Chain A
Amino acid sequence: MRTKSNILYVDDEQNNLTGFKATFRRDYNIFTAESAEKAMELLRENDFEVIISDQRMPDMTGVEFFESIKDDYPDSVRMLLTGYADIESVIKAINEGNVYRYITKPWEEQDLKLTIDNAIEFYNAKNDLRIRNIELEKAYTELEKFVYSASHDMRAPLASILGIVQLAKMENENSDFEDYLNKIETSVEKLDNFIQNIIAYYRSEKLVIQSAEINFEQLIKDAVSSLEFYESAPEINFNMEINQNTIFKNDESRLKLIVNNLLSNAIRYQKPDNKEKRIDIKVDVDDNQAKIVVQDNGVGIEPENINKVFEMFYTTTSGNSGSGIGLYIVKDTVDKLSGTIEVESTPGIGTTFTTIIPTQK
């Protein structure tokens, strides 16, 4: 942040501008303009906490000037410099919200400084509130999406379990109960994996970044075996190529979160009837970074959906968008580790996620 506030002073008398600048240049960054037109130019290029304008100017009055800039520069605090003769138009301007305060001519240095400082304080308070508001609104929207997406992902396996129970009750005999129990188990494991994932994510939201030596071979093997419950997992050929000859330090639990979610995504998006389901995992580690490439020959992603894959599943007025919480968590975690992630996909051919995580210094 700047240490000194930017103040713009508009007055058609050059003497006033010079005097103002000489008096206050140690306290503020003073910009001066001898016409409304010149002031507009300065406004386009700079941000001002406070704008002071003389009321009586040949081309435009101060009130008119403020009225014209109010919509484009609503945050700057506007103050009018005027003699008593103009008091009626000043009161009107204040009532209409175009002017924050007025200063009577001739001004006293101490008084004016106090007034400007008050205006700057007012500007800062308003600005802080505005930033807080934007942050809160963003957090609220994220939360809303999260609740929607999470409740959908949790309700889906529960509906499957409920269905199997109802089916067993309808059939009574003739049911292959062992098969039903296996199907219930799969659904429970899906739900459990989802909840564990959310817990891991929320833990990582709070925790500071940890540092440990990472063994990618082990990390990826663990991730693959933790996803064996997926119905299609046994049919998939996992190919690992790990090139790690150097020590790589980073946050192990966050890396796990990234790899687990990328792999479970690659498993879920396989082509069901493909006899040669394949997921290739390639890791290249050098002194600066680890590059993790997860490539599948699954269903792929339509071009119209590819920009939404890192968004949470959410229903907007224009329809459903996003793909669930998994890839949202991946993106968020990669960002936390100052890494990058890119996705390339051809519908019907497959998808490649390339993640680059820098080494912790």
Chain B
Amino acid sequence: MSITNKNMVMLVDDNQVDLFLNKKFLDISGISDEIISFLSAREALNYLEENAKCVEKLPVLILLDVKMPDINGFQFLDHFKKMQSILTKEIKIIMLSSTIDPVDLNRAHDNEFVFDILTKPLNPNALKELLKKQNLRWVA
């Protein structure tokens, strides 16, 4: 694996404990070699916008919390969609929520950027299996 093709994962969650946990679980799953985390959707969106042209600074995957203050997970997706034309990398999104109801499930599955929505706490093995199934080429 070359350095220019880092498996960067972005974490977005307003809860510090959950951010810490997701970082740890990602480490355990071994699917990424760099993690950047944000406590708000706004900061995460700003980062993506600022680094839109910098391929090596963009993540391949975003783990996105659904319920956040200010901009929630689904609102993040709306902003993310508008940003597509300037992003120089294809970014996939997995949504995370402590409770998932059918409406959220359908909305997540209908979204072109989201390939699944998972219940918290994150299960590192389930995440690995999911990424394998999606044939993400960078998954060992």
Question: A-side interface residues toward B, CB under 8 Å?
Answer: 148, 151-152, 155-156, 158-160, 162-164, 166-167, 170-171, 183, 186-187, 231, 268-269, 271-273, 299-302, 305, 313, 315-317, 319-320, 323, 347-348
State the CA gap A323–B21 with chains docked (Å).
24
**Chain B contacts with A in 103-129, Cβ cutoff 8 A:** 103-104, 107, 119-124
State the CA gap A156–B67 with chains docked (Å).
10
Question: B-side interface residues toward A, CB under 8 Å?
Answer: 14-18, 20-21, 24-25, 28, 38-40, 42-43, 66-67, 69-72, 74-75, 98-99, 101, 103-104, 107, 119-124
Cβ-neighbour of B72 out of A162, A167, A187, A320 (below 8 A): A320
- Nearest neighbor of B104 in chain A, beta-carbon distance: A315
Asked whether B25 lies within 8 Å of A167 as measured between CB atoms, the reply is yes
Cβ-neighbour of B70 out of A148, A164, A171, A302 (below 8 A): A302
State the CA gap A290–B140 with chains docked (Å).
63
| A-B CB pair tally, cutoff 8 Å | 89
Asked whether A187 lies within 8 Å of B17 as measured between CB atoms, the reply is yes
Asked whether B121 lies within 8 Å of A315 as measured between CB atoms, the reply is no
B71 contacts which chain A residues (CB < 8 A)?
A: 302
18 contacts between A and B (CB under 8 A): A151-B99, A155-B99, A156-B67, A156-B99, A159-B18, A160-B121, A164-B17, A166-B121, A171-B24, A183-B17, A272-B14, A272-B40, A273-B39, A299-B40, A299-B42, A315-B104, A320-B66, A320-B67
Asked whether B69 lies within 8 Å of A269 as measured between CB atoms, the reply is yes
Asked whether A156 lies within 8 Å of B70 as measured between CB atoms, the reply is no
State the CA gap A311–B89 with chains docked (Å).
38
Q: What's the minimum C-beta distance from B74 to chain A, rounded to whole angstroms?
A: 6
**Which 10 pairs from chain A and chain B are nearest by CB?**
A163-B121, A272-B39, A159-B120, A159-B98, A156-B98, A163-B21, A299-B70, A160-B17, A155-B98, A315-B103
Q: What's the minimum C-beta distance from A178 to chain B, rounded to whole angstroms?
A: 14
State the CA gap A315–B66 with chains docked (Å).
11
A313 contacts which chain B residues (CB < 8 A)?
A: 67
A320 contacts which chain B residues (CB < 8 A)?
A: 66-67, 72, 74, 104
